[in-house]
Amino acid sequence: MNSTPRKVKFSTIMSLLKKKPIALFLGLLFSFFALLMLVIFTLIFSFTGNDSPKIDYELIDSQGIETSAEITDIEVESNVTINDVHPTIISYQYLKNNEAVRSKYKVLEGERIEALQVGDNLAIKELNGQSIIQNLQPYRFPVALLFLIPIPFLLFAMPFLMYLFFSTRKELKLYKHGQVATARIVSMMPKYAIPIINLGQGVIVHYEYETRSGNKVIGESLTTDFSIISDKRTGDGVSIFVAANNEAQSCLIPKLESLRNNWNIAPV
């Protein structure tokens, strides 16, 4: 194994990823949908999540001081419906130390708040600057549930992404550390691209080489260099990378990537 790894450019890594078009396409597709939903839900929450302050209802209900407040506004969120009921934001103000304190309270109630009007008085409890309307539980949208929705898409994407990672890592390791050897071409077969996405096109090359111990190994490698079909014939020699710690692992040395990364490997 080479002590100094060969340099591998990002474009070469992308070429390796494109050799697995189905895994790349499905992995990116499911990841994209998961990310898209995460962004959408984050934006929705950023616009709607601060309508009313987050409070500890049980603490205020048990330790809060009873007082009276005046309703200043009632806003029904008609664009949201939960169990056929629209959330309602009740804005109110009350006096504390001779100063007016304004607050909002979101509830999911129907008939119990129909009679409320701006200017009506409310019985509230106040504790350390936070307050609740007595006998009305606050409503907060279960935001955490929204962020669980992208998880199935990520679970679908993970096997494809893991397959891409490990298969690419294996060939990338050969590019960086593999020993240069010569193999004999056994067969070559074109591999056609997947329609629409046009990925995966190349030539599948089967080749035979001999290990240091004299054993013959049949290897298989996909190259995107179609010039090999016109330049080589069955039985011709071809340059390959062989793993020093496992000579059964090998891959073709792509001519274009060799030039692009300045590997300075003499062609066979």
Query: Per the confidence metrics, is the pTM higher than 0.85?
Result: no
Tokens 């190259």 label which residue? 223
Q: What are 53's two structure tokens?
A: 């302050």
pLDDT in tens, 111-167: 778 888 899 998 999 988 888 888 888 887 666 777 788 999 999 999 999 999 999
Residues facing 69 on adjacent strands:
122
User: pLDDT tens, 68-94?
Assistant: 999 999 988 887 777 778 888 889 999
Using CB atoms within 10 A of its CB, is residue 223 exposed (0-12), middle (13-18) or buried (19+)?
buried
Helix (H, G, I), strand (E, B) or coil at 247: coil
pLDDT tens digits for range 3-17? 689 999 999 999 899
